[in-house]
Every structure is written in C-alpha cells, then in structure tokens.
C-alpha cells in the first residue's frame, strides 16, 4: 500500500518540512560547529557548556570533558574514565587454543547467567583464509564455507573480569555489521557479493546468518537466511511489532539501497525460526523516497538540512538472490532511492536509525561527511537527524566525520563509531544538535567498530578494527541533556 503523496505533501506544508514529527524522535546532531545556529544565551541559561561538549562538571553540561592522552598509547578518554582490553587479535586466545581472529567489527551484547555478559563479535575478513594471519578457526560443525576467513566469535565476560571466547560461526566472508534480534540472537551480515568460484570461495556469499550466543547447538550446520537477499550487506534490524527486517547495503557503482523484508503471512519470529524460511519467503523490497512536494528523491545526498523529512514507498526486488545482476543494478532511474555507504542501524524509539557515512563525487547531491536518518514505520517517513559537514582537516583532532556503527545510549542520544579520515573517535550526539567526544584512538588510524553498551548500561564496548582489539570503557556515565 503506497503512502498517499498528496496527503504527505499537505501535512508537510502545514507543519513545515522537518517539523512534522513529534514525540520521542528529535533532531539528534549536526556538524560540530552547529551551535552557531542556536541561541547561545538560551544554552547558557540552561547551564550548558560552550562549544560541542568539552566542558567539565555535572548538571546540564554536555559530554564528559576533554580527552586525556593515553600513556599506553591505546585509547584517550575523559578524566575519570578507564578502559581494559577484552580481546586482542594475535594476543588473546580462544578456549580451543587458537588466537583471537583479527578485524573486529559489528558487535552486540546479551545478558548471560549469573551476571555475565555475552558479546557476539564479527570479524570482517574477506577472501581466502591464506590472506589472513588470524582467520576465524574452522571449528567442526560451525563452518559454512571452509575457504572463507570470516565469521563471528562469542565473548563471555564474567563479573570478576575473566574472559572466555569461542567460535560462533566460521567460513563466512567479510562479516561487517549486523544486528541484535528481539529474541536474543545476532544476525551477522556478509558485505560481499562473491559467488562460488570467485576469490577462492567454494560457496555463494553475500548473505545473513543467525548466531545464538546462548546455545552452541543452535549454531551447528550454519544456513544463510536467503530470504533476506544476497548483496553487500551491512546492518540489519528487526521491527519487534510488525516483524519486518530492515537491511542496509554498503555498495557503489551505483550507490546502495535500504531494504525491507516483509515476512510471509502467519510467520512468527523466534529462536531458530529464520532457519525454517524458504529461500523466497516473504517479500524483499527497496526504498523509494519523495519530498514534501511529492517529487522523487534519487539519492539521500540531496538532503542538505537536518529535519528534512521524506515519505517512503517500497518497491519489490525482482531477483533477491542476484544470480546474474546485483540487486542494486536491477532498478532503473526513478525506481528507487540510493545512498553512499549505508552502514550501521539501531532499533529504538519505535523505528530505526540509519547511517550514510559520506557522499562525494559518486553521489548526485551535496557532499557531506555523514548522515544519520530515522525511519518511522508507522508514519512511513525518513527524517534526517544528523548531518556532518565535510571535514577539511581530518588529521586534526576536533571535528568528526564518517559515522559507521551506532548505538542508542541509555544516557540519551546516540553514540557513534567513527570510520573517517585521520583521527578516529567514539562520539556522542544529543537530541538537539550537539556532539561531544567520548574516546580517541591513540594507537593508529584504524576505525572504531561495534559500539554497544552492556545490558546494565555500566560499560561501553567498542573495537579498534585493526589489528582487532575489543575494549570495555567504564566511568561516570550520566544523563546527557536533550538540548
């Protein structure tokens, strides 16, 4: 059922584009210099710090203060915060004795028994195993394609600080992001389109697989969820109310798509249920946006202001397994909306937050260094919440660029893992348009990945992708101001 464009245009004209949405969803962030657009006296009256969150103190001050360089050269944090290494590729070992695999990426946390925390950690390893010093070990019964280097490990962190790690799935490729399900499992996404016979693979790749951190047996004989389609997957979320899956594609030439999978009538989600789906079960669709005047929007880079609201239609995918033509190339001009580097997603506030990392010459609209959108499935609207301007000096600490993995914070707003140029950060963004630093990579220029809070909200986990280090950050977390 299509959203009525005329009705959408009338509502947008009456309320003002970007002001149509009310409730829990507000504008989260803009570029670091965005405070120039706000009234500084208003912020001062409410007790907010100046700049974008480097002030010290409590109350309504934004952020946690300046980042203090790490004497060990790993992670700069605000005063009062500490970190510890949970896993380190080539240093820590799995229960089976092999080294922790490299290239940590998407991660989720799960509450375990007796106060333990489980984390499922993707390892973004593309191509043959021989290309990597520390691929995911081929644990018997957990292998999809013995030629592939990627997969997931499950990390168990105990209350006393001890850590155990084992393989959740092996023999997959380029496991980038993914998503946590409402029923307590992890969906790991392959960011590749390699078919059997390409790059040394013996099976087709570009699928989503389910990993259960609680049940070793459930992970045996891994089977791709082909109903979700075969393309360069990035992230996935599940609508707990409607059962729809939303999936991002990180691809170019042409730019990638946002997908929605609609389950077949009568299907009920739950542990192991995705494995029962037929390869063509349900309907896979790509999004198609239009503006407040009802005009088709060809690419999300066309949006130049936070608060921009687009209506969304969904168009059926002709061949979801993409045997001859990649899914994104199955659509002609005017049929779907595209975006460069559609990356992390997170379900919260009754919808999903969606990242587009940047736009340059491959996109038809304005250049930017990051967008975060919010899709409201009830209203079927997509709203631009975050817009980072092009960072002209990425090698200098200060500005942020290239958002990738994201999580919604229990302390308000969102936390973003940076995958940009130069200096790499974890940073927060409030609901009003203010950003603040949380951590800086002092080790190298590798991106941050897998940012996620522990179930109790006390610990922020994140990874330095290369060489592959999982970190646990603790400190005086506090509620951040909405404004």
Read off the pLDDT of each residue in 187-192 and give the average, rounded to a whole number: 98
pLDDT in tens, 77-127: 999 999 999 999 999 999 999 999 999 999 999 999 989 999 999 999 999
pLDDT at 54: 33
Query: Between these two residues, 340 and 18, which has the higher pLDDT value?
Result: 340
Tokens of 410: 């229990």
CATH code for residues 67-474: 2.120.10.30
Please give the pLDDT value at position 33: 28
What is the percentage of the chain residues whose pLDDT exceeds 90?
83
pLDDT grade for 358, boundaries at 50, 70 and 90: very high
| Geometric angle at alpha carbon 113, from 107 and 114, rounded to 5° | 120
Tens-digit pLDDT profile for residues 255-272: 999 999 999 999 999 999
Model confidence over 138-164: pLDDT tens digits?
999 999 999 999 999 999 999 999 999
Mean of pLDDT values over 37-52: 28
pLDDT of residue 430: 84
C-beta separation of 436 from 67 below 8 A: no
Do 96 and 165 contact (CB within 8 A), yes or no? no
The domain ranges of the chain are 67-474
The pLDDT of residue 16: 36
pLDDT at 459 over 60: yes
Q: What's the gap between Cα 18 and its chain centre?
A: 24
């Amino acid at each position: 059922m299509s959203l009525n464009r005329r009705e959408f245009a009338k509502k947008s004209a009456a309320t003002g584009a970007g002001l149509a949405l009310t409730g829990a969803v507000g504008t989260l962030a803009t570029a670091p210099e965005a405070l120039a657009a706000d009234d500084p006296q208003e912020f001062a009256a409410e007790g907010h710090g100046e700049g974008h969150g480097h002030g010290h103190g409590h109350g309504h001050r934004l952020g946690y203060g300046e980042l203090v360089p790490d004497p060990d050269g790993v992670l700069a944090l605000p005063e009062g915060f500490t970190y510890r290494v949970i896993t380190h590729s080539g240093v820590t070992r799995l229960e089976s004795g092999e080294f922790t695999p490299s290239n940590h990426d998407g991660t989720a946390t799960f509450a375990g028994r007796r106060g333990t925390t489980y984390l499922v950690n993707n390892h973004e390893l593309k191509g043959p195993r021989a290309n990597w010093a520390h691929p995911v070990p081929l644990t018997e019964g957990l292998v999809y394609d013995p030629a592939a280097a990627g997969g997931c490990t499950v990390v168990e962190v105990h209350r006393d600080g001890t850590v155990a790690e084992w393989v959740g799935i092996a023999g997959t490729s380029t496991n980038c992001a993914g998503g946590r399900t409402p029923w307590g499992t992890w969906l790991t996404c392959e960011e590749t389109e390699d078919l059997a016979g390409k790059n040394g693979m013996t099976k087709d790749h570009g699928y989503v697989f389910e990993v259960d951190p609680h049940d070793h047996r459930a992970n045996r004989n891994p089977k791709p969820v082909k109903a979700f389609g075969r393309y360069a997957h990035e992230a996935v979320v599940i609508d707990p109310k409607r059962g729809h899956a939303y999936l991002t594609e990180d691809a170019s030439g042409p730019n990638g798509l946002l997908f929605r999978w609609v389950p077949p009538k009568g299907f009920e989600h739950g542990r192991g249920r995705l494995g029962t789906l037929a390869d063509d079960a349900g309907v896979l669709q790509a999004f198609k946006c239009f503006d407040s005047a009802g005009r088709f929007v060809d690419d999300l880079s066309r949006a130049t202001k936070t608060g921009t609201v687009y209506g969304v239609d969904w168009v059926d995918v002709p061949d979801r397994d993409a045997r001859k033509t990649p899914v994104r190339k199955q659509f002609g001009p005017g049929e779907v909306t595209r975006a460069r580097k559609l990356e992390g997603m997170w379900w919260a506030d009754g919808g999903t937050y969606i990242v587009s990392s940047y736009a340059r010459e491959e996109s038809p609209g304005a250049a930017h260094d990051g967008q975060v959108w919010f899709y409201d499935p009830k209203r079927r609207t997509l709203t631009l919440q975050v817009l980072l301007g092009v960072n002209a000096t990425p090698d200098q600490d200060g500005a942020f660029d290239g958002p990738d993995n994201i999580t919604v914070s229990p302390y308000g707003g969102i936390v973003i893992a940076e995958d940009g140029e130069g200096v790499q950060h974890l940073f927060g963004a409030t609901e009003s348009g203010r950003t603040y630093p949380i951590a800086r990579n002092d080790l190298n220029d590798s991106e941050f990945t897998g940012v996620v809070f522990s179930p109790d909200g006390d610990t922020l986990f994140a990874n330095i992708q290369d060489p592959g280090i999982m970190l646990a950050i603790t400190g005086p977390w506090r509620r951040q101001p909405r404004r």
